Structure 1
Amino acid sequence: MENQQEYSIGAFSTRVHLSVDTLRYYEKEGLLKPRRNQQNQRIYTENDYEWTLFILRLKQIGMPIRDIQTYAKLRYQGDETINERLQLLYKQEQLLEKQRHEIDEHLAFLAKKITIYHEKIVDME
């Protein structure tokens, strides 16, 4: 097994650009499960780093915290939960597709109004 870089909570906080309080909150909510050393201090690894980036991306795409918590719980249970995790991702994909459709409709509305105003400007000249 290769030797992974390990980080204290302070160093990890800097690495992921999250406060120590946020990392503790994520742990309390079951999103992160850093291991503990003999002094009971949190130890984070590159795997925790990649997982934290994934959590942040899920937040960016609007996944509700309860779904992220469910996803995290399933992830920590292992590969036998891949199908359930996929279902959560499909659900979020559908929500994003709906939002994209709504945004496209809003853009079409604006484009139509802009065209009307441009035509009025040409008529006034």
Structure 2
Amino acid sequence: MATEDLMAKALAALGEVDGPMSVEVIHRLVDTGDDTGPMNIAEVADLLDISPHTLRYYERVGLVEVDRDSSGHRLYRPETVRRLVFLTRMRLSGMAMRDLQHYIALVDDGEATVPERLDMLLEHRDTIRRQIKELTLSLAATEYKIATYGGRAGD
């Protein structure tokens, strides 16, 4: 499942929401499917539409821990894949690697770090909202120019 498929799934889930997003909807956004068994690096790379190199990098910098089979091949447990879904969404939204590393270190440190994690995510949410507003204005300017050149805006 490539990024487009994940985005289509996420947008479909969001389309079902009346009002604020519920925890259940958010859980559906990180659901990786019915398969609960471990996945290999190629399957995870395909699912997330990122390279195996990126997955190895995330492992090397401490963002995920990956099991190995008897031959030394990487096996990604469902909880690791869910973490990777979260990490890739945060990277897509512009969160810096150092912030992700700090966030994951806090997660690994346990429940006592929840307030700091919450603060980080609230700040990142504000950043994303600002970016959405800026992109909306950019889209409007682009649509305007398309219309002035005789094109059809909104296609």
Instruction: State if a TM-score over 0.5 links the two structures.
Output: yes
Using CA pairs below 8 Å that are at least 6 residues apart, which structure has the higher relative contact order? 1
Aligned residue-pair number: 115
Q: 1:92 aligns with which of 111, 116, 124?
A: 124
Indicate the residue corresponding to 2:7 in structure 1: none
- The 2-side partners of 1:47 and 1:35 are apart by 12
Residues 73-92 of structure 1: pairs in structure 2 closer than 5 A:
73-92=105-124
The structure with the greater share of residues assigned to helix is 1
Q: Extract unaligned runs of 5+ from structure 2.
A: 1-35, 143-155
Bigger Rg over Cα:
1
Deviations 1:54-102 (A, max 9, x none): 1111112221111111111112222232112111101212323444565
Contact (CA 8 Å) 1:16, 1:49: kept in 2 or not? Answer: no
Indicate the residue corresponding to 1:17 in structure 2: 49
Q: Would the alpha carbon gap of residues 67 and 108 (structure 1) be closer, same or farther in structure 2, given more than 3 Å must change?
A: same
SS of 2:76's equivalent in the other structure is: strand
Superposition RMSD in Å: 3.2
Percent sequence identity over aligned pairs: 30
Q: Would the alpha carbon gap of residues 24 and 60 (structure 1) be closer, same or farther in structure 2, given more than 3 Å must change?
A: same
Q: Extract unaligned runs of 5+ from structure 1.
A: 111-125
State TM-score, norm by structure 2: 0.57
> Is the counterpart of residue 32 in structure 1 residue 64 in structure 2?
yes
- The 1-side partners of 2:87 and 2:93 are apart by 10
